[in-house]
Amino acid sequence: MNFPLQLSFKLLALASQIYVRDANGALLGYVKQKLFKLKEDINVFADEAQTQRLFNIKADRIIDFSAGYTFTSASGQTIGSLKRRGMRSIFKANYEVYDAAGAQVMNIHEENAWIKVVDSLLGELPIIGMFTGYFFNPAYIVSRNDNTPIARLQKQPAFFEGVFKLEKLSEVTQEEETRVLLSVLTMTLLERARG
């Protein structure tokens, strides 16, 4: 993949849709979340016409609190999974990334918890809440278990849409690259309510 990648989605759309583009602006993937599902069921397609499914992301339970999300390829092969840490996510977003065998291989954590707190508080205020998505831009670090940072996801200032930039911080294998991308896509959908 040609980094940095851009993930963008409209905030006012009924069904969450994310466009993944590389540094040259070429579409790498189109993510569509199914509406009216009790359990999250997210498909990643190669194109917006949804002719070629690349990956599927499925929740293991109905309630989102500490749910696990399994990543599978189009052929049904398990690639890995993501799990949100329940109580710790209230103040600071923390996720654990697992490989296909179920071993934890990466962590995703928010760089600055205060941005989340201020964004949550001000986001509830009339009129002012409309502008928090432009001024408060959380960033997330993806790191290996030994705390080596491998990627950084940063929200970009934007009105009426969410735009994120995914930068690679160190060399990764293709398998790790795929797992990082699927993890941040899932996390972005889970954290999308923050603007």
Strands 94-99 and 78-84: antiparallel
Query: How big is the CA angle at 60 (ends 93 and 181), to the nearest 5 degrees?
Result: 50
pTM confidence score? 0.86
The alpha-carbon radius of gyration of the chain (Å, integer) is 16
pLDDT at 130 (0 to 100): 65
CB crowding 69-97: b at 16 or more within 10 Å, else e = bbbbeeeeeebbbbbbbeeebeebbbbbb
Residue 64's pLDDT is 60
User: Do 3 and 21 form a contact (C-beta atoms < 8 A)?
Assistant: no
Give the pLDDT confidence score for residue 70 in this predicted structure.
Answer: 96
Computed over every residue of the chain, the mean pLDDT equals 84
In this prediction, residues 25-54 reach a mean pLDDT of 86
Q: Which residue has the higher pLDDT, 76 or 157?
A: 76
The mean pLDDT value for 97-116 works out to 89
How does residue 194 score in pLDDT terms, banded at 50, 70 and 90?
very low
pLDDT digits (tens, 9 = 90+) for 125-171: 777 766 666 677 889 999 999 999 999 999 888 776 778 999 999 99
